[in-house]
Amino acid sequence: MFNCQSFAFSEGVLCSEKLELAVWRAIRIIMDQNAVIRPTENFAVKVINTFIGGIRSTVENSVHGVLTVLNLGCKQKVPPVDNELLYFSATILAEKIRKAEITSEEVVKAYINRISEVNGLINAVIEGRYEEAMNEARLADQLVRSGTLTEAELAEKYPLLGIPFTAKEAILIKGLPSTCGLVCRKGMTAEEDSEPVQRLKACGGIPLALTNTSEICMWWETYNKLHGRTNNPYDTTRTVGGSSGGEAALIAAAGSVIGIGTDLGGSIRLPAFFTGIFGHKPTQGLVPIGGQFPPALEEISPYVVVGPMTRYATDLKLMLSAFIGKDATEELKLFSPVDIRSIKVYYMLDDGGSPGSTPVSPELKDAIKRVVSVLSMEGLSVQEVKIKHLKLGFLIWCAYLSKVKEQRIANIMKGNVKKDEDAHLEMLKWFSGKSEHTFPIILNACAQDYLAPVMRKPLEFFIQCGDRLKEELLKLLQPEPAVFLYPTFPHAAAHHGQILANPFNASYSVVFNALSLPATQCPLGFCSNGLPFGVQIATAPGNDRLSISLAEHLEVKLGGWTPP
């Protein structure tokens, strides 16, 4: 338990000190049960909590109402999948290619045709390398036909032989754009492949296309001034999240079977949640992150990962193994059988009641309860827990990222790494309609430059909260095999632009970046609006196979991905 009095701040005359004091009072309200609050303050706490919740609800409902009216009659979804090759997992496709039951050329062509069919609606692909991919597919087929290697040898050396894959634009693929949505980088291309791409290619994979991201991957909606907005394949008026939104949209629309995402604050899991696919945030440091723009500098490496995004749970291990290599795969026992009944399952239906985040939808809670019921009936030990500091997830994440000094957003926006740029001037340009940047990225830059420095003491407190939270979760998840089920987001995909009304909803996913815990997003079906949703399965570092294995199990029990 934290004692507020031990973190008392001076009420000096400086504006920053007054701001810190105001923030500290807000912390006491948010923490409520965790902070020492005098009995005489209880009523005031309840009133202020109600006030914060009322303001949040009013803003959210107003924005939702306006966007609903504006989008009336605009809803579309991608056409049905009519090629059976698009229904196979990468694991099955690779096996069929090795057996010469199908050709890589057929598979690659099927995906090129599907991209042509759906991209006009979802705007997921920014550029492809289709001719090169077809040539590489023919080479894969020649290798199979040559008989130089047996089927078993092909599986061992080239587990992804002939399989096309896509990647978000932050991941470098030689000869393809390297803009990350920045107008100032228009026309720039990658001079070499990123390390994750190199590793998939070494396993026989064929890079097919690059997909859209939010501007420099710093927002939870996929939109930028260079490539435009990506739409949800289940309802084009809805968001796909971000920053790996283009990747998620394309995979969900059957325009790709596997893809590469990055995750600094839910950027794999949120888009996967909104589009009904699987996404895995690996153990920190497990997958190489070299070869990105923006570059993943050392000080941000504790929070950002490269990970797999797939339509089928079984492909998560296949991709992860290709990323990390044979030795690490064996060390993690990635493909060793897991007795599902040996896994201890803890869960929470929401964050414990933060007034800043939207209440988790009843439909999503019911879906998680179904998972709990299914697992309980199968003999797993399932227990609901109350971890109070999870309600501070968003602020904990912000506090940890505030330690990042070199990765200055204002500089990256202008394509500069070292030159000092003025974030507030860009905000003025935006209000005058002259900025080439999106509002969220400018807001992030201003927060980093002007808000974080005056919040030093509150941020230190949140870091201590994060350290305590990580300690508490690790006690649950170690040493016995255990996982933690937690919502990925409070509700299914919102309308475009709606997340800006309440960024605190990302608290559910960003907290695991702050705590450096692996987590797998698993689809659970659809809400009444026909939009997919899911749940996160978090586990202890190094136990990736547990969360992925449980996702594979739930895919069988609950259906997994369903075509739009």
Catalytic residue numbers read: 168, 243, 267
Nearest CA among 125, 89, 114, 123 for reference residue 255: 114
Task: Look up residue 204 and give its two tokens.
Answer: 């026989």
Task: Look up residue 477 and give its two tokens.
Answer: 């998840």
Helix axes 544-558, 362-377, angle to 10 degrees: 100
Q: Got the DSSP string for 459-512? A: HHHHHHHHHHHHHHHHHHHSSSSEEEEEESSSSS--BTTGGGG-GGGGHHHHHH
β-pairing verdict for 258-263 and 305-310: antiparallel
Q: How far is Cα 188 from Cα 48, in angstroms, rounded to an integer?
A: 50
- Using the 8-state DSSP alphabet, how is residue 78 labeled? P
CB 190 within 8 A of CB 174: yes
Q: How far is Cα 403 from Cα 300, in angstroms, rounded to an integer?
A: 9
Looking at the chain, the number of H-run helices and the number of E-run strands are 18, 13
End-to-end CA separation in angstroms for the chain:
47
Residue 105, helix vs strand vs coil: helix
CA atoms within 13 A on the CB side of 179: 23
Task: Look up residue 558 and give its two tokens.
Answer: 């609950």
Alpha helices, H only, 295-419 = 314-332, 362-377, 393-401, 409-413
- Using the 8-state DSSP alphabet, how is residue 447 labeled? I
Helix, strand, coil percentages for the chain (3-state, nearest 5): 50, 15, 35
The amino acid sitting at 357 is S
Q: How far is Cα 339 from Cα 306, in angstroms, rounded to an integer?
A: 27
